[in-house]
Structure 1
Amino acid sequence: MFDQPIIRICLVLGSLITATYILRRVRLAKVQIEDTIFWLLFSGILLILAIFPGIAYWAAYLLGFQSPINFVYIVIIFLLLAKQFFMSIRLSQLDSKVRILTQRVALNEEKIESEKLDL
């Protein structure tokens, strides 16, 4: 998998580009710290796998994968699915908060209108 230099170069470039992009977004205050940590760790893992490909071979052998690329794909898919799941939870919580805030604003506006009519 990592025997070809072009794959290793692509992994190194991909991880560096990802880290640079995330750090730039942090500087512009466009990304939250929790998301930043995840993406920086993700790009760090890619960088480590590109620099030390033996880790992927060792982990694949240890877990019984036939090929290191299968191990890498499974790990990446798992991490992205886990991230998506937690983002979905966070989105649901925010949706609930927006609904509650909308109801409160509507009640406050109704209260203000009724007070105006009483005057």
Structure 2
Amino acid sequence: MYWPLLIVGAFLTVAYVVIKIRHNQLMTSDAVFWFFFAVVLIVAALFPQLVFSLSDLLGIESPANFVFLCVLVVVVYRLLALSVEMARLRSKVTALAQDVALKDASNTSPSAKN
């Protein structure tokens, strides 16, 4: 049975997130996602009949496959969201670096000394 592994994995995830928050290495908005993810894993482990019903409804042969598929979809979605955020931050850093470079260049120009 993989249900105990889900519970252990969920509690380890929560513990890891709490440690990262305490060391200021994780933002609260990201922590909410991981806490929600852990709660869903715990619910799936405590109520396996829900997972069995959903896997039957979707025509997935094994409830374990259904759980792993759901986890994979969530992780891929999170990776996509983080990639979009990283691209936005990269362009913001580039714009800020260009702005600082232009200000430094205007402060050191010969016309600025006169």
When normalised by structure 1's length, the TM-score is 0.87
2:20 pairs, out of 25, 32, 43, with 25
Moved more, 36-45 or 84-93: 36-45
1:87 pairs, out of 65, 82, 87, with 82
Quick check: 1:102 aligned with 2:97?
yes
Number of residue equivalences = 114
Take 1:30 and 1:78, find their aligned partners in 2: how far apart are those partners?
25
When normalised by structure 2's length, the TM-score is 0.91
Contiguous gaps of at least 5 residues in structure 2: none
Q: Percent identity?
A: 28
Take 1:10 and 1:73, find their aligned partners in 2: how far apart are those partners?
12
Quick check: 1:67 aligned with 2:62?
yes
Take 1:33 and 1:115, find their aligned partners in 2: how far apart are those partners?
47
Tell me, what secondary structure is at the counterpart of 1:80? helix
Quick check: 1:13 aligned with 2:11?
no
- Contact 2:20–2:26 at 8 Å: present in 1 too? yes
Take 1:105 and 1:115, find their aligned partners in 2: how far apart are those partners?
18
Deviation at 1:33, TM superposition (A): 1.8
Contiguous gaps of at least 5 residues in structure 1: none
Quick check: 1:56 aligned with 2:58?
no
Deviation at 1:107, TM superposition (A): 0.2
